[in-house]
Structure 1
Amino acid sequence: MNAKDIEFFRNHLNEMLQGILRQGEDTLEDMSENRESYADPADRASAESDRTFTLRLRDRDRKLIKKIEEAMQRIEDGTFGICEECGEAIGIARLKARPVTTLCIECKSKQEEEERMRGD
């Protein structure tokens, strides 16, 4: 991978991270502003369901932040874009689709097949 590609992924990962952090801040603001009391139990249940869904999304984002930080560390270490399983280069197209990936498409497919066989 050349320096231009590395810089592209560094910027892309940083943009992803900043976007997630902005969404988290927006969620905190929304949740602190929306402390309404609902007379109708159905409205209250709906609001609680929405809140729970939003919190699940933020939890997924929290996990993604960790993966983004790990990918940025791999850029610094010089191991970004190298499959952790076989040591081969991960294709640029795969990295563009999933820049936090640590496996090439062949190793990922093999891993998923093994999970299906075990019933995971």
Structure 2
Amino acid sequence: MCDFMNKDQLAFYKGQIERHIVELEERLNSQASQAIATDTNEMADEIDRASIEEARRLELNRIEHDKLHLRNLKGALRRISEGEFGYCESCGEQISLKRLQARPESRFCLECQSTKEFNDNHVFRRVA
């Protein structure tokens, strides 16, 4: 169980995460039905069709982002139940409560997250 957080704090984060999950699931259901309903009108001219396709592409990107966020939130719930919530997956140190308040799905402390992002960007640039 999480040593540095009491039961009330864990319950707070669990409630916060569950609310985010409900909001995301509702938004995803709404986005999916809107994406299906969007139709490129055959009567529209080429510019209108291009605008409609771009809007659809952006909507699909938002859906993918929301799905990833949902998976991360569900992972945080799993970590709460397993007693691993609030600890960095890289170094094992405590993730600051301030960071968890802003992003309860955080898996890494700020330092490890920064290092990970730097390495990800550095590798990407080298490969690209």
**Alignment TM-score, normalising by the size of structure 1:** 0.88
Match of residue 35 from structure 2: 31
Is the aligned partner of 1:63 residue 2:68? yes
Q: Which residue identity does 1:68 align to in structure 2?
A: L
Report sequence identity in percent: 29
Distance 1:63 1:116, change over 3 A: closer
2:94 aligned to 81, 89, 108, which one?
Answer: 89
Match of residue 45 from structure 2: 40
8 A Cα contact 2:40 2:53, kept in partner: no
Superposition RMSD on alpha carbons, in Å? 1.8
Q: CA deviation at 1:29?
A: 2.4
> Between Structure 1 and Structure 2, how many residues are aligned?
120
- Greater shift after overlay, 3-12 or 106-115? 106-115
Distance 1:119 1:28, change over 3 A: closer
Q: Which residue identity does 2:46 align to in structure 1?
A: P
2:85 aligned to 80, 83, 94, which one?
Answer: 80
8 A Cα contact 2:40 2:49, kept in partner: no
Q: How many Å separate the matches in 1 of 2:120 and 2:56?
A: 32
Q: Which residue identity does 2:32 align to in structure 1?
A: L
Q: Which residue identity does 1:28 align to in structure 2?
A: A
Q: CA deviation at 1:116?
A: 5.0
- Greater shift after overlay, 101-110 or 30-39? 30-39
8 A Cα contact 2:35 2:59, kept in partner: no
Output one character per residue of 1:8-48: Cα deviation in whole Å (capped at 9) or x when no partner: 11111111111111111111222333335142111111011
Residue ranges of structure 2 left out of the alignment (5+ in a row): none
8 A Cα contact 2:40 2:52, kept in partner: no
Q: How many Å separate the matches in 2 of 1:20 and 1:6?
A: 21
**Alignment TM-score, normalising by the size of structure 2:** 0.83
Q: CA deviation at 1:106?
A: 1.9
Distance 1:32 1:116, change over 3 A: closer
